[in-house]
Amino acid sequence: MQTAAPKPRGTLKTWRYGFAVLGFVALGFAAPTCFAQAKSSPGIPEWVAMGLIALIFGVLVLARWRFHRLAVQAREGELGVRDRIESLERENAELLSALEQTREYAEHDGLTGLWNRRMIQERLRQEVNRSGREGTPLTVIMVDLDHFKNVNDTFGHAAGDLVLKEAAATFQRLVRSYDWVGRYGGEEFLLILPGTSFVGARRRAEELRMAVQAARTQYRETGLQITASFGAVSGFPSDSDSMLLASDTALYRAKANGRNCVMATEIEPAGRSAKPR
């Protein structure tokens, strides 16, 4: 960012040289006049004329020195202003960076980099509202990593963290650019797929399930393999809470059905009940 700086130094320099030239011109005219006056007036000693000339010359020198000092001070002030502007610009850039970092921490999960629970719920509310406005279906998939506690108990939490990050990376890799993926809590994830019908929801959930099952997480000398249960709900929801409840219920049925499977529910338009599939 460039800023216009004041230019008093150039103005003072112009005045300084202009005043000096004017003074020397005046001195050039005054000196002969003073000598002529001294010669024509016997009562006035010649040294008085010389003293007057010396006085005028001294005033000129003093004035020139004063203008020089003003120019130096103006230059120092200009440099000080520039330094302060640059300092303020740096501070502003640092504040913006800190603000962006704070926002990142407030909205994303620190381990996986996914949206955190608060933000994924907010995204769900926004997508439910858009689904209602545009009359398009909406799909939500709740995912739970099967027997995740065994990974932590057997290999430690460091291994568990790697498994969570690998699962998050798998989901992010397979969703569309306008889908939303968040860490809902612990080993649970929430996926929001706008514009996806019930048939598409089941197909996408099954693709995700197979990708998680095929993934391998390398921890030291051990390749860790996990599976996940999926509860999908699709349709035309009236609110986000009912969508979450339906997906959680479908996830519970998937766990009760032996885990590592997909259970889905279709939400009918208002006035008709949901259909488990």
Q: Which residue has the higher pLDDT, 110 or 2?
A: 110
Provide the pLDDT confidence category of residue 5 given band limits of 50, 70 and 90. Answer: very low
- What residue type is 135 in one-letter code? G
pLDDT at position 214 over 90: yes
Residues 6+ apart with CB under 8 A from 214: none
Question: From the candidates 100, 187, 221, 268, which is the catalytic residue?
Answer: 187
Q: Which of 61-75, 79-93, 114-128, 227-241 has the lowest mean pLDDT?
A: 61-75
> What six digits make up the tokens of 12?
């003072």
pLDDT at position 80 over 70: yes
Per-residue pLDDT at 277: 58
| Tens of pLDDT, residues 20-47 | 555 555 555 555 655 555 555 555 555 5
Distance CA 234, CA 67 (A): 82
DSSP for 174-197, written as a single string: HS-TT-EEEEEETTEEEEEEET--
Mean pLDDT taken over the chain? 83
CA-CA-CA-CA dihedral for 182, 148, 212, 262, to nearest 10: -80
Provide the pLDDT confidence category of residue 70 given band limits of 50, 70 and 90. Answer: confident
Q: What is the pTM of this model?
A: 0.67
pLDDT at position 150 over 80: yes
Q: Is 89 a catalytic residue?
A: no
